[in-house]
């Protein structure tokens, strides 16, 4: 399926559905054109966001390996005022369930799009806390193994 118009612009038909389909197919390469170059990813386990397409794609590579039995179970679409200027932006919420290291996770992906339908801001919220802790450690292990973050020094 061609996802570009005659001028090479990304089609905007349903960006949340395209993202969801790429995740469900576990196609990391399909995510690249769905993200803005300066995408910001807000994690439930770190205060500072992950920034930039290369870093966020690396993070999604880890997430696709980390989540077991990942599935979306619902969605909502609308608008949200997320920018500092207060402008409304097209947004979507995708509700998911998954397992990580034996812990069941309930979560939501909050996607905010630019005017071309690309994801410019992505926030993940998950529960329960025990699952957040397990997820955080699993993702850190994956990011470290992939060389995306430095290894923490061993504690004595």
CB within 8 A of 11, min separation 6: which ones?
3, 4, 5, 117
Which of residues 147 and 129 earns the better pLDDT score? Answer: 129
CATH number, position 24: 3.10.450.50
Give dist(CA 136, CA 71) in Å, integer.
19
Strand partners, 94: 75, 109
In a domain, 28, yes or no: yes
pLDDT tens column, 126-146: 999 998 999 999 999 999 998
Residue 9 lies in a domain: no
- Give a yes or no: residue 65 inside a domain: yes
Does residue 2 lie within any of the structural domains?
Answer: no
Q: Is residue 153 situated within a structural domain?
A: no
How many other CB atoms are found less than 10 A from the CB of residue 138? Answer: 18
Please tell me the distance from the alpha carbon of residue 81 to that of residue 58, in angstroms, as a whole number: 28
- pLDDT tens digit sequence for 21-80: 999 999 999 999 999 999 999 999 888 999 999 999 999 999 999 999 999 999 999 999
Domain that holds residue 110: 15-145
Residue 84 pLDDT: 56
What's the CA gap between 45 and 95, in Å, rounded?
18
79 inside domain: yes
Cβ neighbours of residue 74 closer than 8 Å, sequence gap 6 or more? 94, 95
For residues 90-113, b (16+ Cβ closer than 10 Å) or e, as one string? bbbbbebebebeebebebbbbbbb
Specify if 151 maps to a domain: no
CA separation for the pair 2, 21 (Å, rounded): 15
pLDDT of residue 10: 46
- Tally of domains in the chain: 1
CA separation, residue 6 to residues 2, 3, 9, 29 (Å): 10, 10, 8, 22
């Amino acid at each position: 399926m061609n996802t570009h118009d005659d001028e090479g612009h990304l089609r905007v038909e349903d960006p949340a559905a395209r993202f969801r389909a790429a995740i469900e197919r576990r196609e990391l390469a399909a995510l690249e054109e769905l993200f803005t170059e300066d995408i910001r990813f807000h994690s439930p386990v770190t205060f500072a966001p992950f920034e930039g397409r290369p870093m966020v794609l690396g993070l999604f590579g880890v997430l696709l390996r980390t989540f077991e039995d990942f599935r979306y179970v619902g969605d909502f679409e609308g608008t949200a005022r997320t920018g500092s200027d207060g402008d409304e932006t097209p947004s979507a919420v995708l509700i998911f369930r998954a397992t990580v290291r034996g812990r069941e996770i309930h979560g939501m992906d909050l996607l905010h799009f630019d005017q071309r339908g690309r994801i410019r801001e992505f926030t993940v919220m998950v529960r329960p806390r025990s699952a957040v802790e397990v997820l955080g450690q699993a993702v850190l292990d994956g990011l470290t193994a992939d060389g995306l973050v430095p290894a923490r020094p061993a504690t004595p």
